[in-house]
Structure 1
Amino acid sequence: MDTDSLRAFVAVADSGSFSQAAERLFLTQSAISKRIAALESRIDAPLFDRIGRRITLTEAGHTLMPRARQILAMFEDTQRALTNLSGRVHGRLSLATSHHIGLHRLPPVLARYRKRWPEVSLDMQFLDSEQAYQGVQSGALELALATMAPQTPVHITAAPLWVDRLHFVCAADHPLAHGTRLSLAALAEFDAVLPGEQTFTRAMVTDAFERSGLTVGVSMSTNYLETIRMLVSTGLGWSVLPETLLDDSIHCLDVAHPPIERPLGYLFHDHRTLSNAARAMLEVLEASRETDGNDIATR
């Protein structure tokens, strides 16, 4: 049972598509199919059910999946440990970032990193923070940059670097725009446009209202803050946005409530041997830490 076949199996299962798995592994679709067929022949059982265009795991596939991930994780961890002995900073670094961090915090970090360590090949993905945590937990990602979770999962090290202060905003012609020192109760009377229900940012906002015995009525949801800014500017509801997204298209509200702050930072798995490329990235990230940020890594 070779690692190439296992890697193809996991890629197909994760993407639900042979063609997408081929793109992810830089192979042809026929090469992916041959590797899956060889693996199925080896274990004498089908791994996928193919119903129309939908691909799902069989019982054998579900049984193999956690073991395949474990084998690949151990193999890759051993490779990193051996490569690290040379002290050379090169190779591939799998890094995920939320869209907001990638657009507004990461560019100077990447510029410094690429200038200092040009031999590193960055495999960067844009993911929601919640997906980034899952990727680190599963071993699919070596490092991630995300909004910090309210509770850090076991075996994950999460280090906050920056703080986003969230501002209550609405359109200039929204009824709330004419008020001063608004209460949360006043905001709760109007619809909000917020990130998705499962996001850390959404939880921060709704928790603030729930502590006052209030419920937020959410008319629309999207995880892209730039899209939220556009929707708010058209008068579809109030929202919260970080300072980096404030502009003339929206109105900042004067709300009698302490600022809602969300910590942003990096995370990695405690049981994973970090490559020299990942350790070098952590050095650059630490150098970008805000002076008023939290210095303490939490577990």
Structure 2
Amino acid sequence: MRLTQLETFRTVARTLNFRRAAERLHYAQSSVTEQVQGLESDLGVTLFDRTGRKLRLTEAGARLLTYADQLLSLAEEARVAVTGQAVTPSGPLTLRAPETLCARRLPPLLTAFHARHPQVRLTVQPSGRADVRRGLQEAEIDLGLFLGRVPPGLDVACEEVAQEPLSLVAPPGHALAGRPGVTARELAACGFISTQTGCAYREIFESAWAEAGPLPQVVAEVGSVAAVARCVASGMGLAVLPEVAVMDELARGDVVALRWDALPRASVWMAWNAQRLSPAAAAFLRMTRESRAERR
């Protein structure tokens, strides 16, 4: 067994797709196939079940995957111990995050990361909560960002990397606008606009009321944050959204912020496969931690 074969096998095992594995490794698909077949020949076992529509690990393949993780990790540890130098991050790094974070929060961090690690090819995909989860489950991505809690049942390592201030917004001229503060009782009589159930922003809206009392009436469920903000501006109702998502609307005066002292902050969580963290992903995670420490 060669380490290159093990790395190729592990990538195929994580993606369960020869084409995607080839893209991640920057190999021709035929090279990936040849390496896996060579490993199977050396070991005298079949590592993948190719009979169905979807590629699957065999029992032998599942056992080897555990050892491949350990061997590759040990090889890197040995290289660092002998040379005294950590591996220079390079290659692809794919990250999925909510569109608001991609547009407003990530660009400075991505720019700094690129300046420090120019050999890493970044791919940032604005994605909904379900797509981030699927990307992690199917090893399509290296890192995923969740606004709000990490979905239960997802077998990943995760860490809170930031907190987002929330804003309670109302149309200009609303009866509660201009007050020094509002109460849950006053808000309970108002109609609210929210995104759909299962969306991170809907969970944020509901968590804002966890200790305040019963949820107010949701008069409309709208598919995007931008559309929610526009509905508020038009006078349809109030909304609870991340402050960063409505910065432009607040600056233009399209909506106004109401002060509700009970409004919490939304946690931002980064998640990754604990068994497979590439040097590039590890470097991005370190920079994220540094950035958070600087903001404190």
Answer whether TM exceeds 0.5 for this pair: yes
How far the C-alpha of 1:104 sits from its partner, in A, is: 2.0
1:120–1:47: structure 2 CA closer, same or farther, 3 Å change rule? same
1:61–1:178: structure 2 CA closer, same or farther, 3 Å change rule? farther
Alignment match, 2:14 = 14
How far the C-alpha of 1:73 sits from its partner, in A, is: 3.2
1:77–1:210: structure 2 CA closer, same or farther, 3 Å change rule? same
- What amino acid sits opposite 1:98 in the alignment? A
Mapping of residues 221-232 of structure 1, within 5 Å: 227-232=224-229
Alignment match, 2:179 = none
- What amino acid sits opposite 1:49 in the alignment? R
Contact 2:208–2:263 (Cα < 8 Å) also in 1 = no
Alignment match, 1:251 = 255
Give the distance between the partners of 1:47 and 1:256, measured in 2 at CA: 56
How far the C-alpha of 1:72 sits from its partner, in A, is: 3.0
Match of 2:188 among 170, 185, 190: 185
Mapping of residues 1-299 of structure 1, within 5 Å: 1-41=1-41, 42-52=43-53, 54-82=54-82, 85-86=84-85, 90-92=88-90, 94=93, 96=95, 98-99=97-98, 100-115=100-115, 117=116, 120-123=119-122, 125-126=124-125, 147=147, 158=159, 160=161, 162-169=162-169, 172=171, 178-180=174-176, 181=182, 183=184, 185-186=188-189, 192-193=194-195, 196=198, 203-212=203-212, 214=214, 227-234=224-231, 239-246=239-246, 247-248=248-249, 251-252=255-256, 254=258, 256=260, 258-264=262-268, 282=286, 286=290, 289=293, 291=295, 293=296
Q: Percent identity?
A: 22
1:109–1:208: structure 2 CA closer, same or farther, 3 Å change rule? closer
Give the distance between the partners of 1:272 and 1:50, measured in 2 at CA: 27
How far the C-alpha of 1:19 sits from its partner, in A, is: 1.3
Gaps of 5+ in 1: 294-299
Give the distance between the partners of 1:276 and 1:190, measured in 2 at CA: 42
Structure-2-length-normalised TM-score: 0.63
Give the distance between the partners of 1:56 and 1:193, measured in 2 at CA: 36
Gaps of 5+ in 2: 177-181
Aligned residues: 271
Give the distance between the partners of 1:82 and 1:146, measured in 2 at CA: 38
How far the C-alpha of 1:165 sits from its partner, in A, is: 0.7
Q: Deviation digits for residues 143-186 of structure 1, max 9, x if unmatched?
A: 87665858xx9x968464x531112347x59xxx8452473534
Contact 1:196–1:221 (Cα < 8 Å) also in 2 = no
- What amino acid sits opposite 1:3 in the alignment? L
Alignment match, 1:297 = none
Match of 1:34, SS state, is helix
> For the aligned residues, what is the CA RMSD?
5.0
Give the distance between the partners of 2:15 and 2:221, measured in 1 at CA: 28
Contact 1:81–1:273 (Cα < 8 Å) also in 2 = no
How far the C-alpha of 1:26 sits from its partner, in A, is: 0.9
Contact 1:156–1:267 (Cα < 8 Å) also in 2 = yes
How far the C-alpha of 1:33 sits from its partner, in A, is: 1.6
1:273–1:61: structure 2 CA closer, same or farther, 3 Å change rule? closer
Q: Deviation digits for residues 39-84 of structure 1, max 9, x if unmatched?
A: 33324234223423x223333333333333333333344445555x
Shifted more, 25-34 versus 278-287: the winner is 278-287
Give the distance between the partners of 1:82 and 1:207, measured in 2 at CA: 50
Match of 1:240, SS state, is strand
- What amino acid sits opposite 1:233 in the alignment? R
Match of 1:214, SS state, is coil
Contact 1:156–1:269 (Cα < 8 Å) also in 2 = yes
- What amino acid sits opposite 2:97 in the alignment? S
- What amino acid sits opposite 1:260 in the alignment? P
How far the C-alpha of 1:37 sits from its partner, in A, is: 2.0
Structure-1-length-normalised TM-score: 0.62
- What amino acid sits opposite 1:17 in the alignment? N
- What amino acid sits opposite 2:120 in the alignment? S
Contact 1:40–1:47 (Cα < 8 Å) also in 2 = no
Match of 1:233, SS state, is helix
